[in-house]
Structure 1
């Protein structure tokens, strides 16, 4: 299996820098490349709660910080996107779901990369099932358990 080429910019907001060691560039690139069907230019930004809340309010009209926001600018011939992950939300969710922080970050980065390629789980039950199955297959290939709690989790 040939993996896509990836130009990755990895950024950490000052109030999210504590996750820098966990999210080594080579690790983030590996997770994303496994989720990509085409070459890509992706910026991953790890932010704190204030920036995450502001971006979600501005772009989705939802006044809370969410785990991952995907800004997809182009899908062909190269995927161009920004993925913004809110460190405190990811940390809280990992604890609530009894996952390691690394496991949850891997899942959310794969999830965001799929969104950047046009996958959508909010367009109907069939699309949601297809996207979940794709995420699960990618994460299993990366050595992680089924993020939705299937066998092996």
Structure 2
């Protein structure tokens, strides 16, 4: 079970807390994970600032993942934070002719897997992560986002 803190201070168009909670819990149940996650819905300016600061890429992006960096001696179930850019999600869904809700689900799961240590820098890592994403999305009735 995942405890979620959703922040959408600017009331940007995005799914509600119950939807995010449902998606994260379905993944957590399948992977036998528990913990806390914070999702912040951001605009393009904040996304670009975060992406530049933490990834040295001076452009907005769809989702940024910030895994928890709490020392082992500190008891915490916080898995990390996600920053999801509402405008980029919408733009990508339109450009890729995808259902907007399905794209929100995909990017939420993608970011969540990064919090759990999955990555796609190397080809073998990417294959593993994408295969898991495809399986998890199929569990939610969503087709392969990579075709």
Q: Alpha-carbon deviation of 1:145?
A: 1.2
Task: Note the alpha carbon deviations across 1:56-108, whole angstroms, 9 max, x for none.
Answer: 11111110011000000159873521000011111111011111111111000
Secondary structure of the residue aligned to 1:62 is: coil
Aligned length: 140
> Tell me, what secondary structure is at the counterpart of 2:23?
helix
Superposed displacement of residue 26, structure 1: 1.6
Inter-partner Cα distance in structure 1 for 2:79 and 2:66: 9
* Ranges of 4+ aligned residues in structure 1 off by more than 6 Å: none
1:35-46 equivalences in 2 (<5 Å): 35-36=27-28, 37=31, 38-46=33-41
How far apart, CA to CA, are the structure 2 residues paired with 1:60 and 1:40? 25
1:2-151 counterparts in 2 under 5 A?
5-14=1-10, 17-20=11-14, 23-36=15-28, 37=31, 38-74=33-69, 78-122=77-121, 124-149=122-147
Q: Distance in 1 between matches of 2:91 and 2:58?
A: 18
In the alignment, structure 1 segments of 5+ residues that lack a partner are: none
| Alpha-carbon distance between aligned partners in 2 of 1:103 and 1:88, rounded to the nearest angstrom | 15
User: 5+ unaligned residues in a row in structure 2: which ranges?
Assistant: none
**Are the aligned partners of 1:8 and 1:43 in contact in 2 as well (CA < 8 Å)?**
yes
> Measured at CA, do residues 79 and 34 of structure 1 come closer, stay the same or move farther in structure 2, by a change above 3 Å?
farther
Q: Secondary structure at the match of 1:19?
A: coil
* TM-score, length-scaled by structure 2: 0.89
Deviation at 1:35, TM superposition (A): 2.4
For residues 148 and 118 of structure 1, what CA distance do their matches in structure 2 show? 21
Distance 2:114 2:27 in 1: 10
